[in-house]
Structure 1
Amino acid sequence: MAQNQQMQGPVSTPERAAGVTRRQLLLGLGGAGLAMGLGVYWWRSQPVAHDHQRLTPARAFAAAQAGEITLIDIRTPREWRQTGLPVGAIAIDMRRKDFLQALNAAVAGDLAAPVALICARGVRSARMTRALAAAGHSLIIDVPEGMLGAASGPGWLAGNLPVARWQG
């Protein structure tokens, strides 16, 4: 009797439901998740549009040295250790809970003082220009090339501008 019950076609199992194997389903979901993750990464790596003034790193350095702006490096301590700080910049990690208070202390409470923001590649500085304008600062300037360079230019380091070792 066992010989008479041989199946004529492929075995139907839960893994082959609707013509898709479990492996195919998992690979498809994994690929979709990877694509979505890459999309989110790309979106987060794009500077936001803003209508604030922009400076090249060389111009930001010259303006900071002349006392025309307060240059704020908003990167993290790990980044400051890796590359150093732009000479003339004040290091204030943008993730600090008291970031606004620290910035206000750096400009002696003058919300109209010209403040230039620099980060690694211009993404965070662009986002922070909008946030600081919303917080009442009227002259926020972006350094969109950042320390490492971006689509807008080669950046502070490639421009051979001076850096100081972070003493934190």
Structure 2
Amino acid sequence: MSVSQAVSRSPTRRWVLLGAAAVAGTWAVREYRLTPPDYAGGKLSVSNAHRSAVAGEVVLIDIRTPREWRASGIGEGAHPIDMRRADFVQALTAVVGPDRSQPIALICARGVRSARLSLHLTEAGFTNIIDVPEGMLGSRAGPGWVRVGLPLHDYEGDAG
């Protein structure tokens, strides 16, 4: 047996290759989870989303979870509705009313879930869904609501 054959059959090399494959797989899954889908609809920066929500020009919906709302707070002017709710569309309609052309902006932590839900709601017949791709915590689109220093209020309650 040659030296190269002995090295290629060594358990250490096999573990290194398996480890590298695991790291590459983990990176691919992470990138998929952190990369928002392309959403061709409207987009707002967090500053413009805040201004528009407070002025009543758009209904801003924070689609994160109650745990996330408790951790960072809810942006001023935003309505918290957990996107995981089975009755999400009904809860959204209770806040915005039956007009599916009303401007609705969606914000999540980093813009991934809001982009995905924007696509879903557009397919469900909502015609004026606006994504806030920076999210509450920042993303490639910008620093996010918290880092910009926009007003927050504490989450109190179990609704959502």
Q: Determine if contact 2:63/2:106 at 8 Å carries over to the other structure.
A: yes
For residues 1-168 of structure 1, the aligned pairs below 5 Å read 19-168=8-157
Structure 1: state its 5+ residue gaps.
Answer: 1-8, 11-15
Distance 1:17 1:104 in 2: 67
Distance 2:114 2:122 in 1: 12
CA shift digits 1:89-108 (9 cap, x unpaired): 11111111111111111111
Distance 1:34 1:54 in 2: 34
Distance 1:150 1:37 in 2: 20
Partner in structure 2 of residue 4 of structure 1: none
| CA RMSD across the alignment | 1.9
How much has 1:22 moved relative to structure 2? Answer: 3.3
**Higher RCO structure (Cα 8 Å, ≥6 apart):** 2
Structure 2: state its 5+ residue gaps.
Answer: none
State which structure, 1 or 2, has the greater radius of gyration over its C-alpha atoms. Answer: 1
CA shift digits 1:95-133 (9 cap, x unpaired): 111111111111112211110000111111111110110
Distance 1:39 1:149 in 2: 21
Which secondary structure state, in structure 1, belongs to the residue aligned with residue 42 of structure 2?
A: coil
Q: Determine if contact 2:7/2:13 at 8 Å carries over to the other structure.
A: no
Identical aligned residues as a percent: 48
Distance 2:136 2:39 in 1: 20
- TM-score, normalising length: structure 1: 0.85
Which secondary structure state, in structure 2, belongs to the residue aligned with residue 116 of structure 1?
A: strand
How much has 1:82 moved relative to structure 2? Answer: 0.8
How much has 1:23 moved relative to structure 2? Answer: 3.9
- TM-score, normalising length: structure 2: 0.89
How much has 1:18 moved relative to structure 2? Answer: 9.3
